Structure 1
Amino acid sequence: MKKIEVFVEKANDGTYWGSTQNLPGGVSSYGNSFDELKQNLKAAFKDYLEVGRKLNENWVQEIEQLTEFEYQLDIASFFKLLPIKISAIAEKTGINPSLMRQYASGKANVSEKRAREIEKAIHELGEDLLSVSF
């Protein structure tokens, strides 16, 4: 099933901003935390559907079937969002830790290929964490 794609950015003041990428007209919201952004975006999406229904928009039937949100971040925003050791991701990807810190701070541009390598390492780390139980 298609997901609602949301691009997320963290502003310098700490506010999280999110906007949909694949909906007619789009939906956006913000929050003081990532969790608050997600809650606010879901509420904004409900309002978006309600307005679409009232206006008898033809896209509503297709869009109201979407229930999952997929949050997309750039590398720098990801590292601002989560307290992950940059050196651990660098080691997992085989990237020089100094270069990884530059990617994480937004001081160096990340190629599409390198971004996919970093994303893969982060997903593998997530799978490793999910396999742990206490």
Structure 2
Amino acid sequence: MMKNAVEVYVEKAEDGTYWGSTQNIPGGVSAYGQSLEELKLNLLKAFTDYLEVSEDLEEDWLEEVKAMDGFEYNLDIPSFFKLLPIKISAIAKKTGINPSLMRQYATGKANASEERAKQIEKAIHELGEDLLSVSL
């Protein structure tokens, strides 16, 4: 997690559209795209417009928001598995969670507790670190 970043909650809709909305700034900013990359570009444009309007209105919180360091994108478990083609059973094995239960989390048929979600997040981050250590 980045400190002092604009938090963006991302969802992938059934039609494949990606939606993002900020969570920790006054008023909020939302955008969408046909891909995650397009969502990020559209959100950056919307955020730039948001800052310009806030500057014109001389909002008292503007400097605090301008000082934020980039965006941090947050997904729920089903959106994560829709977004990335990661084998659910691999994450289940890494976390020690029953593969059937992990599939239920991934499809949204079951909701993970906050503790379980953190366990899954940790396994995903470890997998990312493992992948970053590979050279081809």
Which bin holds the TM-score, normalised by the shorter protein?
over 0.9
1:82 aligns with: 84
- Among 93, 97, 100, which residue is 1:98 paired with? 100
- Among 46, 49, 73, which residue is 1:47 paired with? 49
- Among 50, 59, 62, which residue is 1:60 paired with? 62
Give TM-score scaled by structure 2 length.
0.96
SS of 2:74's partner is strand
1:4 aligns with: 6
Gaps of 5+ in 1: none
Amino acid at match of 2:104: Q
| Identical columns (%) | 72
1:12 and 1:96 map into 2 onto residues whose CA distance is 26
The alpha carbon displacement at 1:67 in A equals: 3.3
Give TM-score scaled by structure 1 length.
0.97
The alpha carbon displacement at 1:65 in A equals: 1.6
2:41 and 2:81 map into 1 onto residues whose CA distance is 21
Amino acid at match of 1:73: L
- After the TM superposition, which residues 11-22 of structure 1 pair with which residues of structure 2 at under 5 Å, given as runs? 11-22=13-24
- Among 17, 35, 38, which residue is 1:36 paired with? 38
1:73 aligns with 2:71: no
**Equivalent pairs, count:** 134
Give per-residue Cα distances to partners, 1:23-64, cap 9 Å, x unaligned.
000001000111111111011110000000011111111111
User: RMSD over aligned Cα, in angstroms?
Assistant: 0.8
1:61 and 1:124 map into 2 onto residues whose CA distance is 35
